[in-house]
Amino acid sequence: MTTNGKGRLAGKKAVITGGTTGLGFETARAYLAQGAQVIITGRSQERLDKAVAELGEGAVGIKADATSVQELSDLAAKTKDIFGSIDIIFANAGIGIFAPIEDMTEDGFDNQFGINVKGVFFTVQQLAPLLKDGGSIILNSSAVNAKGAPTGSVYFASKAAVRSFARSFAAELGHRGIRVNSLSPGVVRTPFQSKMDMPAEELEGFIDAVIKSAPLGREGTTADIANAAIYLGSDESAYVTGADLTVDGGWMNV
């Protein structure tokens, strides 16, 4: 961790929802290395304690379920106590459950829209008042946000909503100099895939097809996404708002 005021995020304070594993955790690690202080959230105190112990100095864990406006409000109050104001919000918590239309359950639908859509909206609603003017909001969408595929209907739609939020939030918060962008990863192996309810063979076939159609011909890494999150969180992206940064090896754009 950088404690000497150096780094691309030196002196900045960030809140990352869903920072116990995967992309949120890796981004927390990268932010700390670039001189930021970080609050991570998640639903399990045990997973939070483990993550914070691994991240080390400069990291704080706060238990907050992104589907609960009350818990997000409590998160904002605790964040204010600890940090006062903040510079970066990374609304990252999310899940994906893949199923054919006829097999999608009501719970599967509600959980995805509850965490991915409602969670992102109210995270921003509750935390944006703590953002300094000129701060940055990053919404974790997905490279599939303008795509369709069998079994992906609910997840893809939830990520399209997240991409849409970035546009309206950018319009609404621009007068404070606050930038809002979506970050759209391609396929990156994290615990996410084990929660997808997709048979292993189908998952590997899907990943194989993505790699074959992406010009860079490989899966993404958690570092690829964290690097993009550093850029969007830093002053290097000071004139970028309402945009979608696709980090997918060219899968969607080529």
SS3 228: helix
Minimum Å distance from CB 194 to ligand NAP? 8
Cα separation, 160 vs 64, whole angstroms: 24
The nearer residue to ligand NAP, 35 or 96, going by C-beta atoms, is 96
Q: Which of residues 12-41 bind ligand NAP (CB under 6 A)?
A: 17-24, 41
> By CB under 6 A, which span of 1-9, 64-72, 167-175, 238-246 interacts with ligand NAP?
64-72
Options 2, 10, 33, 43; binder of ligand NAP; rule CB under 6 A: 43
Q: Which of 238, 35, 215 is nearest to 136 (CA)?
A: 238
User: Does an H or E element contain 165, and which?
Assistant: helix 153-173
Q: Which of residues 72-101 bind ligand NAP (CB under 6 A)?
A: 92-96
Residue 232's alpha-carbon distances to 20, 59, 102, in angstroms, are: 21, 20, 39
> By CB under 6 A, which span of 62-70, 101-109, 198-206, 235-243 interacts with ligand NAP?
62-70
User: Has 31 been annotated as catalytic?
Assistant: no
Please state, as a whole number, how many other Cβ atoms lie within 10 Å of the Cβ of residue 51.
21
User: Does an H or E element contain 70, and which?
Assistant: helix 69-83
Q: Rule CB under 6 A: which residues touch ligand NAP?
A: 17-24, 41-44, 47, 65-67, 92-96, 115, 119, 140, 142, 185, 187-188, 190-192, 195
Please list the active-site residues: 155
